């Protein structure tokens, strides 16, 4: 007892020193000094790396990055890469017996901590009888034709004996390289730097953000795919301030589910958040939703660029080509028009006009137009299409090109095999069996002997 008493002050001092560090490590605390809980599971390839902490939180960054860009290696695509994990997370809403339950999943103990299963980082939670399975894998990015984007999938399974409703919110804390305040580009909308929301009725196909404030062609960029290519279109999509005081919005980080945007408020420290509203799930039934988000942005940047798929897969033969135009000059560009030219093997969808109006662009403004294009897909080939952009006060047109890999989508019919008709042979004269020949011969011999006796 005396030894314990002698060392008690020392032990108390040690406890006082390590307790705050333990609390910080286990909190999944927001941005600030000090490491968070150590990540324990990761997936990587030549382009990107995904890391999951043991509470299921994730970060994404580059390894080799875009093969066409030098200097984008080992950079964040989500905030915290590679050591601070805890600002991007999913939330769960369960409506059970008329009562709504909301959970930030990384603040709930997982029923199964992250492990690698079939090439994906898998984490599971069990809350209010709903088993949530989060799967994060490295997927093919249709806009770059590389495996450089995370596929984030959630499966919700009802383990109860009665119906309930369950939904998912996925909030990603975007940081593109060193830029934690990167402006977004949305097709059909343009550049977005203030808090904005979209529903399934007006959902953009994707979002993109640049590290470079001038959208340089050789800069790092991040992409999230919201529609098409097997994605589950969100019911709601919001670009919002990450935390109050780091932009003009209220801050989404500490909210479990609901968030109201502040229209016109600067996003600042940016997040991209998707909601899949609660849907009815029967006993022992499940639903799966998935999205590709937080990956490399593919081609783009500069004065003008196309955002479009880099390749098609059968049976899809139609795609959208979004043309972006940025005014990098010192004056307003007047009366812009863009005309697309397609090679053999590609044609505009019905009702599409090859020339579209861009209008006036003030200095540093970015605008976009888009075309629906169909591929003949009669053979596997890589096709190049181009657009010419003219402004009344610009001396020469701006030219931009893009390539797309087109597969052979023809249905190869199974050849019809015509049976060979073998005619039935005409029966020939019957040939007596050997036994019959023997009896016939014996009979003839006997007849000949009888004739000889009569002649005598």
Cβ neighbours for 164, distance < 8 A, ≥ 6 positions apart: 94, 95, 96, 97, 128, 129, 130, 158, 280, 281
* Sheet strands (E) in 269-426: 270-281, 286-296, 304-307, 318-326, 333-341, 346-348, 355-361, 366-375, 381-390, 398-406
The strand pairing partners of 131, in sequence order, are: 126, 157
CATH of domain 40-296: 2.70.98.40
CB 194 within 8 A of CB 183: no
Strand runs labelled E in 226-332: 236-241, 270-281, 286-296, 304-307, 318-326
Query: Would you state the CATH architecture of domain 304-406?
Result: Sandwich (2.60)
Query: What are residue 267's phi and psi, to 5 degrees?
Result: -65, -45
Record the tokens describing residue 238, joined without a space.
């919001």
In the chain, CATH 2.70.98.40 sits at: 40-296
Q: Are 211 and 184 in contact (CB under 8 A)?
A: no
Domain with CATH 2.60.40.10 in the chain: 304-406
Taking CA atoms, 275 is separated from 47, 257, 290, 333, 376, in Å, by 28, 9, 11, 38, 36
- Which of 75, 20, 61, 94 minimizes the C-alpha distance to 279? 94
User: Is the CB of residue 41 less than 8 Å from the CB of residue 121?
Assistant: yes
Q: Quick one: how far is CA 210 from the chain centroid?
A: 18
Matching residue, tokens 């397609």: 342
CA distance 326 to 185: 12
Strands annotated E in 25-145:
39-44, 48-53, 58-62, 89-96, 99-104, 112-117, 120-127, 130-141
- The pLDDT of residue 33: 44
- Angstrom distance (rounded) from CA 110 to CA 319: 40
Low-confidence ranges of the chain (pLDDT < 50): 1-29, 33-39, 422, 430-444, 447, 450-451, 454-456
Structure tokens at 331: 């004056």
Number of C-beta neighbours around residue 33 at 10 A: 7
255-276 pLDDT, tens per residue? Answer: 999 999 999 999 999 999 999 9
Whole-number Å distance between alpha carbons of 77 and 176: 5
Instruction: Yes or no: say if 157 and 285 are a contact pair by the CB < 8 Å rule.
Output: yes
Q: Please tell me the predicted confidence (pLDDT) of residue 38.
A: 44
Measured distance CA(312)–CA(440) in Å, rounded = 83
pTM of the entire predicted model: 0.81
Residue-level pLDDT at 442: 47
Evaluate whether 366 touches 301 at the Cβ level (below 8 Å): no
Q: Which two tokens stand for residue 5?
A: 């008493």
């Amino acid at each position: 007892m005396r030894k314990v008493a002698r060392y008690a002050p020392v032990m108390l001092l040690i406890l006082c020193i390590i307790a705050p560090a333990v609390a910080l490590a286990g909190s999944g605390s927001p941005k600030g000094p000090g490491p968070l809980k150590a990540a324990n599971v990761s997936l990587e390839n030549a382009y990107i790396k995904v890391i999951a902490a043991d509470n299921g939180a994730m970060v994404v960054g580059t390894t080799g990055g875009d093969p066409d860009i030098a200097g984008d290696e080992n950079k964040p695509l989500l905030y915290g890469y590679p050591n601070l994990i805890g600002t991007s997370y999913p939330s769960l809403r369960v409506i059970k017996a008329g009562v709504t339950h909301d959970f930030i999943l990384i603040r709930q103990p997982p029923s199964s901590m992250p492990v690698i299963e079939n090439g994906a980082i898998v984490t599971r939670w069990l809350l209010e009888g709903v088993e949530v399975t989060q799967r994060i894998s490295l997927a093919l990015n249709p806009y770059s034709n590389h495996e450089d984007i995370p596929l984030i999938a959630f499966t919700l399974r009802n383990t109860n004996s009665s119906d309930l409703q369950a939904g998912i919110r996925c909030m990603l804390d975007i940081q593109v390289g060193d830029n934690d305040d990167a402006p977004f580009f949305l097709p059909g909308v343009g550049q977005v730097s203030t808090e904005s929301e979209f529903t399934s009725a007006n959902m953009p196909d994707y979002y993109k953000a640049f590290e470079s404030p001038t959208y340089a062609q050789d800069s790092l960029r991040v992409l999230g795919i919201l529609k098409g290519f097997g994605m589950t279109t969100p019911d709601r999509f919001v670009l919002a301030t990450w935390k109050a005081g780091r932009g003009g919005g209220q801050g989404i980080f500490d909210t479990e589910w609901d968030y109201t945007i502040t229209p016109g408020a600067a996003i600042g420290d940016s997040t991209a958040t998707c909601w899949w509203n609660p849907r009815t799930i029967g006993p022992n039934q499940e639903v799966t939703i998935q999205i590709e988000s937080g990956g490399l942005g593919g081609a783009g940047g500069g004065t003008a660029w196309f955002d479009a798929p880099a390749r098609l897969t059968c049976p899809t033969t139609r795609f959208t080509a979004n043309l972006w135009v940025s005014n990098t000059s010192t004056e307003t560009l007047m009366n812009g028009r863009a005309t697309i030219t397609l090679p053999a093997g590609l044609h505009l969808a019905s009702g599409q006009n090859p020339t579209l109006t861009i209008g006036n662009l003030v200095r540093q403004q970015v605008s976009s137009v888009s075309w629906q294009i169909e591929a003949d897909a009669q053979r596997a080939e890589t096709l190049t299409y181009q657009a010419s952009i003219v402004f009344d006060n610009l001396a020469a047109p701006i030219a931009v090109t893009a390539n797309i890999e087109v597969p052979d989508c023809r249905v190869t019919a199974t050849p019809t095999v015509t049976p060979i008709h073998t005619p039935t042979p005409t029966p020939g004269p019957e040939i007596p069996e050997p036994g019959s020949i023997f009896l016939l011969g014996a009979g003839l011999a006997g007849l000949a002997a009888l004739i000889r006796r009569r002649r005598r």
